[in-house]
Amino acid sequence: MKLDLKFSDLGLPPMNWFGLVTGGLVLVLPFLGPWWVGTAGTGAMEIALSPFDVAVSLMRQPIQSSLVGLFLLSAKITFVIAGIFMIMASLFPKRWWSKRLFRFGVMKPFWSVVSLLIMLVVGALIFNYVLPSMLSGAFSGAGAGNAVVQINMPYIVGTSVSTIQIGSTATITAPIAFSLTWVFWLAVATGILGIIARIYNRSLAPPEKLMLKQAKKR
């Protein structure tokens, strides 16, 4: 597939304008906040997720993992580097290094969106189908009688109510609400722009063989 759109016809220099915008968005995405927010009750459990930040609090007490924190920092750094590379590659699409730098970051927003969605669906499946039987066993084993745990988690977005019934002595009910933030939709837009920029870049950048020749000459 080749895009016939030529910005040079509009009097603009031969740059990958789609790539330039995508690069800018990739650069700022890590600093815009969570992509997805989940709550149980009003502060009993709060989760704010993005590929760059995970904020989890239980009973208003924040929980942190140093390994997860470092991975998220690494993701942030990767996006900043990818954004800079994409901007450079889009400004100078005919340089020998352009294609490689461009490829480093162009698909990252798209795969981040896909990974987050897969993670949320898998998480909901585990909570809905695996965790209830484990918790029922744990509560029953702890002498809480015949415990029935019923978790109805929405997939990605929505609201629901989950209950834990401990024999005939207690019933615990928690409203659950999941939502995607505007930053997620910006990430989706960045992902789509990235794909367009990648396709458009093929019409701008010289063929790989020529680039290799250029690189060898230097």
Partner 1 sequence: MRDGALKWGLRLLGIALTIGPLLIALGTHNWDIKAAVLPNENEMKEIEDSVKGIFGGGPSENMFSIGSPTIVGNKLEVPVQFTSPFNIPIKIKDVLASVSDQGVNIAQIQMEENEVEVLARATVNFTMGGTYTGGLPTNPQLSGVDITFEFYGVTVQAHMSGGQGGS
- Residue ranges in contact with partner 1 by CB under 8 A: 40-44, 58-68, 70-71, 73-74, 77-78, 81, 96-97, 100-101, 104, 144, 166, 168-175, 211-212, 215-216, 218
CB of 120 to partner 1, least distance (A): 20
CB-nearer residue toward partner 1: 133 or 171: 171
Q: How far apart are CA 214 and CA 190, in angstroms?
A: 31
CB of 67 to partner 1, least distance (A): 4
CB-nearer residue toward partner 1: 27 or 166: 166
DSSP E strand stretches across the chain: 36-40, 45-49, 54-58, 61-63, 147-150, 158-166, 170-180
CB of 5 to partner 1, least distance (A): 28
CB-nearer residue toward partner 1: 65 or 133: 65
CB of 143 to partner 1, least distance (A): 9
Task: Of 23, 82, 66, 32, give the one whose Cα is nearest residue 52.
Answer: 32
CB-nearer residue toward partner 1: 25 or 40: 40
Q: What token pair was written down for 199?
A: 């396709």
Q: Which residues pair with 163 in a beta bridge?
A: 150, 173
Chain CA centroid to CA 30, Å: 10
Q: Which residues pair with 56 in a beta bridge?
A: 47, 63
CB-nearer residue toward partner 1: 10 or 67: 67
DSSP string for residues in 73-132: HHHHHHHHHHHHHHHHHHHSTTSTTHHHHHHHHHTHHHHHHHHHHHHHHHHHHIIIIIHH
Task: Of 186, 184, 162, give the one whose Cα is nearest residue 174.
Answer: 162
CB of 152 to partner 1, least distance (A): 15
**What does the CA dihedral 132, 138, 139, 143 come to, rounded to 10 degrees?**
160
CB-nearer residue toward partner 1: 121 or 172: 172
CB of 199 to partner 1, least distance (A): 21
